[in-house]
Each structure stands twice: as C-alpha cells, then as structure tokens.
Amino acid sequence: MQRKPIIAPSILAADFSKLGTEVEAVSNADWIHVDIMDGHFVPNLSFGPDVTKAVHKSTSLPLDVHLMIEAPEKWVQHYIDAGAHCVIFHVEATDDPVALARTLRSAGVRAGFSVKPGTPIEPYLDMLEEFDEVLVMSVEPGFGGQSFMPDQLAKVRTLRTAIDERGLDVIIEIDGGISADTIAQAAEAGCDAFVAGSAVYGKPSPAQAVDELRKLASR
C-alpha cells in the first residue's frame, strides 16, 4: 500500500523546559513520537504518563507512544488514558504480544510492536494481522543521537513483502539515526513512517526540517 511519508518527531530530542512550545514548533508533522524508558528494559530513563498527557493536551497531532519498558501489559492503560493514538511495545518485553495487541485495540487504540536490532523479524510475521504498526529499531533503544544501522533495512524489506503479499494495512515505522542522509534509503526499503529526533530538534527550524525530511522520503 503506497502512503505519503509519515514524519514523527521524537520529543526525546526536544527541550523539556519548554515542551509545549517544542511540540507546537512541529505542528506540520504527522505524528508526535513519545519515547517511554524505564531504566530497566533500556539503560535510560525518560518520562511517563503525566508528561504524555501534557503533550496530548498541547497538540492535536496523534501521539505515537513507544514503550521501552518491562512488563508493558501492566502499564498500557496509563498511556491509553494519557491520550495515546498508538501504543508500541517491545516483543522482547512481553510473553504474549497478541493478547496485548488485542487489549489495545479493544480500547480503541492502535497497536504496534517493536524489535531491537538483534531480534529477528521472521518469528513475528504470523501475527501481523493483529497489529496496526511495526517499529523497526535502527539503533539500540535507550539513547538518542546514535548512528543509523543500515543492516536493519533487511527487516523492513521482509516486512514490506509480507504486508503487501497479504494485503494488510500495517504501517512500517523506523526509529534510530533517521536524518536527511538516511531517510531516503529507509523509504526505498519500504518504510511508511519515520521517527526523527535530533534531525528535527537539532535544526534552527524544526518545522522546515520536517518538510525537508518528508520531501526526501517522498522521492
């Protein structure tokens, strides 16, 4: 399914002291990506449901909430209540991803799963029908500003083939090292949505950076 590129700035790279203003600065984006880290599943700590709720109040854009946390099934309701449009959890962090996806969908929220760079995608292809989104990590999760891992695009191509052959409406998203130098190759591999942190918030005009990334992905 051919889509317009979805650009999702990550507020992990924003200035937390003026988060409302930073979110408003990318009002031309498609989604806002919210990275949740617990200091256990990944070796870093970010923020939780209260900040997510505050972001939801400050924008009309859909919140793409990425849970890099242990036992996500214990926490998803907090993020549903905080206004998440899609909740993405890691398959490495839960024993029953399909059950969790059904919980999310039954609550009226889109369900997504993510895989770390070292996790193969093939074991999860059979459950694609249960999901709305798959997030391929092209860096090790937990820290912003890492270098893009082009070998992860093999997973994207595998997903693209499986989704297209089965006629599924599942978005392929990529997160990690996405910039003006890497977004075109991710798009060519079959990505629909692109998370960008420093490539947006590290520029003088975040809105202009969003537009430029969208143009590069469209090519």
What is the C-alpha to C-alpha distance for residues 56 and 134, in angstroms, rounded to an integer? 22
Which residue out of 30, 35, 64, 132 is catalytically annotated? 35
DSSP letter at 50 equals: H
Q: 94, 117 in Cβ contact below 8 A?
A: no
DSSP letter at 85 equals: S
> Six-digit token pair at 39?
């200091």
Active site residue 151: no
Which residue out of 30, 38, 132, 175 is catalytically annotated? 175
What is the C-alpha to C-alpha distance for residues 10 and 195, in angstroms, rounded to an integer? 6
CA distances from 25 to 58, 88, 92 (A): 11, 24, 34
Active site residue 81: no
DSSP states of 140-194: -TT-SSPPP-GGGHHHHHHHHHHHHHTT---EEEEESS-STTTHHHHHHHT-SEE
Name the residues annotated as catalytic.
Answer: 35, 175
